[in-house]
Amino acid sequence: MVQTKETIIAIRDLQKSYKDHQVLNKINFSVKKGSIFALLGSNGAGKTTTIKILSTLLKPDKGSAVINGLDVTKKAEQVREIISLTGQYAAVDEGLTGRENVRMIGKLRHVTNPNKEADALLGKVNLLEAADNRVATYSGGMRRRLDLAMSLLGNPPVIFLDEPTTGLDPQSRLSMWQMIKELADSGTTVFLTTQYLEEADYLADQISILNQGEIVAEGTSQDLKKLLPQGHIELGFHHEEEVGAAFSLLKEFNPSINQESHKIVLTTDGSIKQMTDMLNRLDQAGIPVAELTQKQPTLEDVFLTIIGEKEGA
């Protein structure tokens, strides 16, 4: 792994064990300045452990982790001054108002004008109207946005978001996605862990997949999707009995039935030859196709395939 001027986070041969359980096994990756980096993995894969090491909350057993040229173990205090961490659950004081929460953290971080900064950040996360309400009255999405505002105090160049949209409703999740995009657009480097594959697909410039303590795949979302040569096509028919007949006729293409649409889903390599073969078989059997939809592999397809192969599934 080569570190360049564009690199703001660099991990090399990082290892961490808890007693006899190895959580991280010589992982390597780097993150570019001003980008959104997503670390994906199942529960227990080592995502939160990685973030704890990078945010100086945990020391690695071996290997190195560097942020903006600072070793996170040797220069922990200096690293803390340039990073911010938002955990899986909003760390806010329910007895205080939203404004009081932000001001309190501002004073602890010795922000020059905590009152002015608090109002600016509350506006940025769309909480200015609720700023003087007690946090106990906030919804889950509002608490997450408040937590994000508190993390942004002092304009840290690197922010770690550990599963930032867990438990949020779809509207709140989309709102959080927009704020994360705006952070990166303003030059902040965002290090994201998530279990929502569509979240990483939408947000991340670069993705690494962590499985059983090892990086098993990395690249852009499009790079990862290219790892699967197969896609899917969905066939719709005029009559229900035609669905069963087509299913039997096309068994070699691993058919399944979409329970919502009652259409047949088939695995395909995407070639015209293969799709022509499928349609010719149906035509010769007198089974007309009413609808055909081609679907490329999703990031979820890639993730489940890679994890399944590594686990011997």
Contact between residue 297 and residue 208 where contact means Cβ atoms under 8 Å apart: no
**Residue count of the chain:** 313
Same domain, 49 and 190: yes
Domain presence at residue 208 = yes
CB neighbour class for 186 (10 Å; exposed up to 12, middle 13-18, buried from 19): exposed
Same domain, 218 and 233: no
Contact between residue 160 and residue 55 where contact means Cβ atoms under 8 Å apart: yes
Q: What are phi and psi of 99, to 5 degrees?
A: -65, -40
CB neighbour class for 22 (10 Å; exposed up to 12, middle 13-18, buried from 19): middle
| % pLDDT > 90, the chain | 49
Domain boundary among 222, 248, 280: 222
Domain presence at residue 241 = yes
Minimal CA–CA distance to 278: which of 253, 254, 241, 261? 253
Domain presence at residue 165 = yes
Domain presence at residue 18 = yes
Same domain, 43 and 162: yes
Position 2 pLDDT exceeds 50: no
Same domain, 80 and 105: yes
Position 52 pLDDT exceeds 90: yes
Which 3 state secondary structure label does DSSP give 65?
A: strand
Q: How far apart are CA 167 and CA 141, in angstroms?
A: 8
Q: What is the number of structural domains in the chain?
A: 2
Q: What is the pLDDT of residue 301?
A: 83
Global pTM?
0.78
Specify which residues 11 forms β-bridges with. Answer: 29, 65
Same domain, 128 and 216: yes
Same domain, 29 and 99: yes
Domain presence at residue 134 = yes
Q: Which residue bears the tokens 């890679």? A: 306
Which 3 state secondary structure label does DSSP give 176?
A: helix
Domain presence at residue 78 = yes
Same domain, 286 and 199: no
State pLDDT tens for residues 170-183: 888 888 899 899 98
Q: In 10 A of CB 46, how many CB atoms?
A: 25
Q: What's 70's domain CATH number?
A: 3.40.50.300
pLDDT confidence tier of residue 76, bands split at 50, 70 and 90:
very high
Q: In 10 A of CB 226, how many CB atoms?
A: 13
Specify which residues 25 forms β-bridges with. Answer: 15
Same domain, 110 and 190: yes
Domain presence at residue 309 = no
Domain presence at residue 284 = yes
State pLDDT tens for residues 245-287: 999 999 988 888 887 778 898 888 767 788 888 889 999 999 9
Range of the domain at 279: 229-296
Q: How far apart are CA 46 and CA 27, in angstroms?
A: 10
Same domain, 22 and 72: yes
Same domain, 212 and 240: no
